[in-house]
Structure 1
Amino acid sequence: MNCLAHIIKYILFVSNLVFLICGILLIVFGSLAISSLKDFLDFAEADSINTLPICILILGCIIFVVSFLGCCGAIKDNRCLVNSYCICMLILVILQIALIVYTWLYMNKILDSIATVVDKAWDIHDNQPGYMDALQMGYKCCGKNGPTDYTIIPNSCCGSLTAVCDPLQAAALKGCRLKFVDFWGSNTNLIKYAGMAVAAVELIALILGWFLSSSIKVSQRDKRTY
């Protein structure tokens, strides 16, 4: 291979190491998101909000595997691996764009689905206070819309089930519906814009991969000629 091909080879290797890290981060985020919802998945309305974290988790796994394939193909000058990497990367870019478009078009629908978790937890809090307690301690909020929803402020509004909650401390807290939706909205936006940047970089990596594959093919043909 010529000098330019060698440079592209190592650029591709390093960039795929970065993608490996991105894949791991997506796996961690998706796992944490699913874990944060596990206490509420017995709500029928909560089923739909688990879709996005699962998609993120699966996407992270795919990025990890494809990037590993790209690293091996680039460092070993294996055209078969590089071609497989390019095909997988093309599919991956399409899937990421589809996920970004979905979150962009249906952001309000996603957030409405997320809000039903708090609505349902509030509807049953008289008989099953554990769900609201989990929300209030986890998201540092109080009540569905605010502390004024309660006649007597529960201890969980102050982050504990044992210590008595100071009403003045609880008064500064926001409602769980707003905090829960804001948390998921900000993280969804982060995934959306980060996904756009990663998809653009992956498209460049795809082009470099095809170029490297062509260079390996020419190099192998020259060796056979000599």
Structure 2
Amino acid sequence: MGCGAPLVKIILFVANVIFALAGLGLAGIGTAWLVFVEAGHLAIAAIVVGAVAILMAFFGCCGAIVESKTMLVIYSVLLIILMNLKTALATVLYMATETLVAAINDTLKTLFANSAPSFHEIEKSFGCCGTTGALSYVNSLRAIPATCCTERLCIPTNSSAGCVGVVDDLIRNCSVGVAALCIALAALELVLVIFGLCLADHVGNKYKGRY
């Protein structure tokens, strides 16, 4: 690796400081959920993933600084595990999108039919109207509420789009965005794995018999 070793050490150190901070933040959020919201499995999963990220960052930083082949190999193995988990998460999330969309659509239709106040709050939050637009109210012989429009006079021609379509688009865009982010992070982690193993090989050649 020659003169590339110092640069690789700096890259690994900086990248793992960022990983450690991200892991600390995720673990903190998970702890807050557990204490104040009682989010159960979601909170515990956040804490576990955060703790693994911190542990991985520890091996990466220390392995690069002290030039420990053992730490660098452990770091690379942990990173490969996280990389595979992110790739699996992206795949599962993308494949589950249609199921999630269908479930939320059913919920929206149920709220529209049985809980007008709750549905009006959704209209305010998402800037939408009815399930499929103002005609949802017209067809069900109900007055078009003010939450359907941004103007004072609310009529079908100036009402917002239907909530089912708006929420569907939001979910699909978020799903694609999160999946793409997971894939991008996995690609970055693959580069770090290569750097970690290369540095471990360099250290092994430099200090043969030490580890």
Same fold (TM over 0.5): yes
Give 2:102's aligned residue.
112
Which residue of 127, 136, 155 corresponds with 1:140? 127
Q: Which runs of 5+ in 2 are unaligned?
A: none
SS where residue 221 of structure 1 aligns?
A: coil
% same residue: 24
Alignment of 1:154 with 2:145, yes or no, is yes
Kindly indicate whether the alpha-carbon contact (under 8 Å) linking 2:19 and 2:53 is maintained by their aligned counterparts in 1: yes
1:212 shift after superposition: 1.6
CA contact (8 A) 1:142 1:176 kept: yes
TM (norm. structure 2) is 0.71
Give the counterpart letter for 2:206 in structure 1. Answer: S
| Residue 202 of structure 1, aligned match among 183, 189, 195 | 189
Say which is worse superposed, 88-97 or 60-69, in terms of deviation: 60-69
In the other structure, the counterpart of 1:65 is 54
What is the Cα-based RMSD across aligned positions, in Å? Answer: 3.8
- Following superposition, the deviation at residue 136 of structure 1 comes to 1.1
Residue 141 of structure 1, CA deviation: 0.8
Distance 1:114 1:63 in 2: 32
Given the superposition, is the C-alpha separation of residues 83 and 178 from structure 1 closer, same or farther in structure 2, using an over 3 Å criterion? Answer: same
1:5 alignment partner in structure 2: 5
Output the amino acid matched with 2:184.
A
Q: Secondary structure at the match of 2:208?
A: helix
Q: Flag structure 1 segments of 5+ consecutive residues without an equivalent.
A: 39-50
Aligned counterparts, 1:16-165, within 5 A: 16-17=16-17, 19=19, 61=50, 64-65=53-54, 68-69=57-58, 70-126=60-116, 129=117, 131-150=118-137, 151-158=142-149
User: Aligned residues, how many?
Assistant: 195
SS of alignment partner, residue 174 of structure 1 = coil
Distance 1:209 1:122, change over 3 A: same
**1:221 match:** 208
